[in-house]
Structure 1
Amino acid sequence: MKRSEMLTGLVMAGLLTLACFGETSQNDLASSEEIHLSQRETENELVEAMASILERFPSANKRGIPQCAMGSRCAMRMGPRFGQLCECRKGTNCNSFLLKCIQS
């Protein structure tokens, strides 16, 4: 008799523990979703703030170096250095002796 009562009590305690654990996991899930949403909102606010700050600064457009055709002059010698006139197209390189785009 005592054994069956202990077994029943143990089963009831186990079921109660499982029920409580199920509720806490649902609460944790809800709170984790709220945290995720608040983090997303914070991130969006930061992005908007950065965009507004960047709009205030003048845009520095990087002007690309024009591309030159194969065989055309791509560099100019300036004393010990070379000044780049244009960028050779894909598949060609600027020869430092001829200062022209040649096929590689």
Structure 2
Amino acid sequence: MESVRAAVYLSVCLSVLTSLCQGQRSPDNQLLSAPDEPLLGLTTKELAEALQGFLDEADSRVGLSVEKKASVIPRCDVGERCAMKHGPRIGRLCDCLRGTACNTFFLRCY
């Protein structure tokens, strides 16, 4: 998670730095590039698809952490395991349905 965040911050910083430096270059030193010219052996379309895949994967990871932070606890049916024992403490896995409760001895909804 932290490596994804660092990569995003680095890419944003590099793009801002690049855009600032573009204004400092003289027009005769600028490179003329064709839109379909391959960069590092990849076309612009392939690079865009790779970036989109990376961003989709990063969004799916971020979505899971947001759900945990929002304290969204899933519902569990009667008889399913609703808690887990961590030494002297009991951690909740899910919330029992209405009319049932989590038995702290069996750690199941009854």
Q: TM-score range by the shorter chain?
A: 0.3 to 0.5
Greater helix share, 1 or 2?
Answer: 1
Give the TM-score normalised by structure 1: 0.39
Greater C-alpha Rg = 1
Give the TM-score normalised by structure 2: 0.37
